[in-house]
């Protein structure tokens, strides 16, 4: 099975005997690592009892986790992803509750993105916020809280369009279509 690497410690696969496989529905299964090798920026993992492609395909989309007691020690300002999920995010010097981290997304840039579920009364369901050192003011994993200072306008980037903005876009799209029709004549 070829897996994406989201670890700062890929060399520790040599010491791993077991990993937890977490499915999208949160079902957990312990897997015993037989061997591994690095390939095209990822890692190929061979598990005991997973002996065919169809066996490996059943693991597709799962998240692999190191048992908590076997995790590598992290620096003071670092955290494991599953320790961040479920934390409350506060902004404006800790005075405004923004929402709760639902998940963490990778691949959209240098910093992973926190998928923050907003309160029910918000005009949108969720916002994406870079989990970048320059935005994090305080990370309290024991208290399940992240205090952040976000640049002006960042939360508006994902905001739904106002009725006025929707109307302007419809008008601009109509103008473009009309110009295309004229140019074809």
The mean-pLDDT minimum among 23-37, 80-94, 157-171 falls in: 157-171
**Residue 181: what pLDDT?**
67
- Asked whether residue 23 falls in the same domain as residue 45, the answer is yes
Domain count along the chain = 2
User: The CATH number of the domain where 63 resides is what?
Assistant: 2.40.30.60
**Residues spanned by the domain of 150:** 81-156
**Residue 102: what pLDDT?**
93
The pLDDT of residue 160 is above 60: no
CA distance linking residue 125 with residue 169, whole number of Å? 22
- Asked whether residue 61 falls in the same domain as residue 98, the answer is no
The pLDDT of residue 146 is above 90: yes
The pLDDT of residue 79 is above 70: yes
40 vs 163, higher pLDDT: 40
The pLDDT of residue 63 is above 90: no
Establish if 30 belongs to a structural domain: yes
Reported confidence tier of residue 47, pLDDT bands at 50, 70, 90 = very high
Per-residue pLDDT of 89-129, as tens digits, reads: 999 888 899 999 999 888 767 788 999 998 876 667 888 89
- Asked whether residue 106 falls in the same domain as residue 144, the answer is yes
Establish if 172 belongs to a structural domain: no
Establish if 118 belongs to a structural domain: yes
- Asked whether residue 64 falls in the same domain as residue 102, the answer is no
Q: Tell me the percentage of the chain whose pLDDT exceeds 90.
A: 30
Establish if 64 belongs to a structural domain: yes
Contact 115, 126 (CB under 8 A): yes
- Asked whether residue 87 falls in the same domain as residue 107, the answer is yes
User: The CATH number of the domain where 117 resides is what?
Assistant: 2.30.30.240
**Residue 92: what pLDDT?**
85
- Asked whether residue 115 falls in the same domain as residue 57, the answer is no
**Residue 7: what pLDDT?**
81
- Asked whether residue 13 falls in the same domain as residue 34, the answer is yes
Reported confidence tier of residue 154, pLDDT bands at 50, 70, 90 = confident
**Residue 122: what pLDDT?**
61
> How far is the CA of 150 from the CAs of 12, 44, 68, in angstroms?
35, 38, 31
The string of DSSP codes covering 149-174 is -PPTTGGGTTPPPPHHHHHHHHHHHH
- Asked whether residue 65 falls in the same domain as residue 95, the answer is no
- Asked whether residue 92 falls in the same domain as residue 115, the answer is yes
- Asked whether residue 65 falls in the same domain as residue 85, the answer is no
CA distance linking residue 143 with residue 185, whole number of Å? 67
- Asked whether residue 62 falls in the same domain as residue 88, the answer is no
CA distance linking residue 125 with residue 159, whole number of Å? 9
């Amino acid at each position: 099975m070829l897996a994406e690497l989201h670890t700062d410690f890929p060399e520790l696969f040599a010491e791993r005997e077991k990993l937890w496989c977490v499915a999208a529905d949160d079902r957990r299964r312990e897997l015993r690592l037989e061997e591994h090798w690095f390939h095209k920026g990822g890692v190929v993992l061979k598990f005991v009892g997973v002996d065919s492609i169809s066996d490996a395909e059943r693991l597709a989309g799962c998240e692999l986790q190191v048992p908590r007691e076997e995790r590598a020690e992290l620096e003071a300002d670092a955290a494991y992803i599953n320790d961040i999920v479920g934390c409350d995010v506060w902004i404006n010097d800790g005075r405004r509750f923004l929402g709760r981290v639902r998940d963490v997304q990778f691949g959209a840039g240098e910093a992973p993105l926190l998928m923050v579920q907003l309160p029910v009364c918000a005009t949108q369901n969720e916002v994406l916020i870079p989990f970048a050192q320059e935005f994090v003011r305080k990370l309290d994993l024991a208290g399940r809280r992240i205090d952040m200072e976000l640049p002006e306008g960042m939360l508006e980037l994902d905001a739904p369009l106002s009725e006025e903005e929707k109307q302007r876009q419809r008008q601009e799209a109509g103008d473009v279509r009309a110009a295309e029709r004229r140019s074809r004549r």
